[in-house]
Structure 1
Amino acid sequence: MDYEHTCMIRGDGGRTLRAILDQICNKWTLLVVATLDQGTLRFTDLHQQVPGISQRMLTLTLRNLERDGLISRTVYAEVPPRVEYTLTPTGKSLIPPALALAGWAIEHVPDIEASRKAYEERR
């Protein structure tokens, strides 16, 4: 089913699809998902393994991923409370396309950098 057909069926002009892609393709989501592909992690461990992410942004990203069903959050009734995050089957299904996109980016870095340099020189 193509994009246009999907939008016609949903009747929302593509808003739902754009919202999902906005979430999946944001700066932090793929890094968090790729990190959780290594296995279940606690918040602190996840924070340490995703370079540059603030605690607030990690919290927001995790909430959105949980809301969308890409991760599960397990709270253990301990003192202090222990919270663990893991990918759901839907979250795991994001790994192959994410790796394909990352591979494409790595393969085309020289082309893109050359194009950017040529563009800046023309300006």
Structure 2
Amino acid sequence: MAFDFSENVNALFERFEKFFTSKTVVGESIQVGDITLIPLMSISFGLGTGGGTDPKGNQGEGGGGGIGAKASPTAIIVIKGGDVQVVSVGAPHGFEKLVEMVPEVVSKVMGEEKEEVKETKEHLE
């Protein structure tokens, strides 16, 4: 049975058509004091293929393909007390708004970074 690149590519696309798409994914919640942060991510997948033959030369055939994925933060759900807000990461001043709403996050992140730097320095000494 001869190799039919086109047939194989079509079969691959048919099987992966439902899988390769763009989805919004809800991340694991992060608890900071009395505030809950829930990240929202946009996940995209793609697939590309190509191939050809050279019947005039050495009867050669060739083909190739590739798959790619991308994850991008889109928003963060902030739950503080009884209030729920969605802060868009891509919106103008979205990150600044998040910092204003949750100053404890900045303190926690900065504290963790300082601790990591301290541990690294101690390890190097």
> TM class, shorter-chain normalised?
under 0.3
Between structure 1 and structure 2, the one with the greater Rg is 2
Structure number with greater CO (CA < 8 Å, separation at least 6) is: 1
TM-score by length of 1: 0.28
